[in-house]
Amino acid sequence: MSFRVEVRREGDRDVHVLRDDASGASASILPSYGFNLFDLRLPAAGEIRPMIVADETFAREPSRPGGNGTPILFPFPNRIRDGSFTFGGETRHLPANHGPNAIHGFALDARWTVVDQGATDKEAYVVGQFQLSADAPAAVDRWPTDAAIEVRHALSDRCLTMTTTVSNPSALPLPYGFGIHPYFRLPFAPGGDPSRTRIVLPASKYWKLKDFLPTGEVRPVDDRLDFREGKPIAGLKLDDVLTDLRHDEPGGVGACRLIDLDKKAEFQLLFDGSFRELVVYTPPGKPDVIAIEPYTQTTDAINLQPRGVDAGLRVLGHGEQHVMKLEMRTVG
């Protein structure tokens, strides 16, 4: 059997590594720091290449939880204006951790619990769980209800599948949004020409922002933000929220593509119909890195929705759950 799971020690932390010995693919996850998928290596253009960007010391000394690997954003992705919102007749205040705003939820740097791992003749997998009341108790009174999330990473051949289940263990309605914040490198390592690349994103509209927060207005993409036919990564400067996503791939999924024209290979980020927004961000000083972030809602949805804006806020009743799927894979 070519699939296996390793657990290696980095300082005082365990790293769970999924391996496919037949293809050479591997995926490394850090459960003690947000269940972060910080290293993904897949075959592309005849070599095993790193697809996700993180600091070299991230596994041993993790820091900057929103800036490395694949941060998991729950129960809200991106910003909440002034860290304040009203839900169910109660106003709640969150600590401002990004200027005047709260950002990225409570799970991205918390210690998750590994509840299952193993290998079959088809895949290697690991499953992690986070529950607000158990794993971030200081935040439990800052959200309207308790909240639980389970993420299953499975590696097979040249594909990593991320299956996420959000559930409501409380008696009250659970408002939430979910997203991931992965950092990808293009051109594929090692080296390459940024002008000989293409980024393809299936979005036809964008949210107008002021101070990085949606005003509530949605507009058709202009030339700067129209990636439907592809644009090179060279010179891009982005921190935007795209929407009106096409889900027209087989199975009703959407696809983002990072294409290295010189290597004649591409990386694909696929997402099911649960995901309706894409945040795209190019970190300063890293001309070969881009974050493409599928979200179930737009930024600050919990404040926009009461204004009558279709912002994507989801609400689960007691015992209800929602299952979502993402895939990362290479072609060529």
- The answer to whether the predicted template modeling score (pTM) of the entire model surpasses 0.85 is yes
How would you classify the pairing of strands 277-281 and 174-176? Answer: unpaired
Output the pLDDT for position 188: 97
User: What would the DSSP string read from start to end of 206-262?
Assistant: EEEEETTEEEEEEEE--GGG--SS-B-STT---EEEEEEE---BTTTBEEEEEEETT
What pLDDT is recorded for position 203? 98
Domains defined for the chain, CATH in brackets: 3-331 (2.70.98.10)
Task: Give mean pLDDT, residues 319-323.
Answer: 97
Per cent of the chain over pLDDT 70 is 100
Q: Over the stretch 181-201, which tens digit does the pLDDT of each residue have?
A: 999 999 999 989 999 999 999
Q: pLDDT tens digit string along 87-146?
A: 999 999 999 998 999 999 999 999 999 999 999 999 999 999 999 999 999 999 999 999
pLDDT tens string 220-276 = 999 999 999 999 999 999 999 999 999 999 999 999 999 999 999 999 999 999 999
Q: How confident is the model at residue 1 (pLDDT cuts 50, 70, 90)?
A: confident
| Predicted pLDDT of residue 236 | 97
Indicate the average pLDDT of the chain: 97
For position 228, what pLDDT does the model report?
A: 98
Q: What is the per-residue DSSP string for 74-108? A: BS--SEEGGGEEEETTEEEE----BTTBEESBSST
Cα separation, 273 vs 281, in Å, equals 22
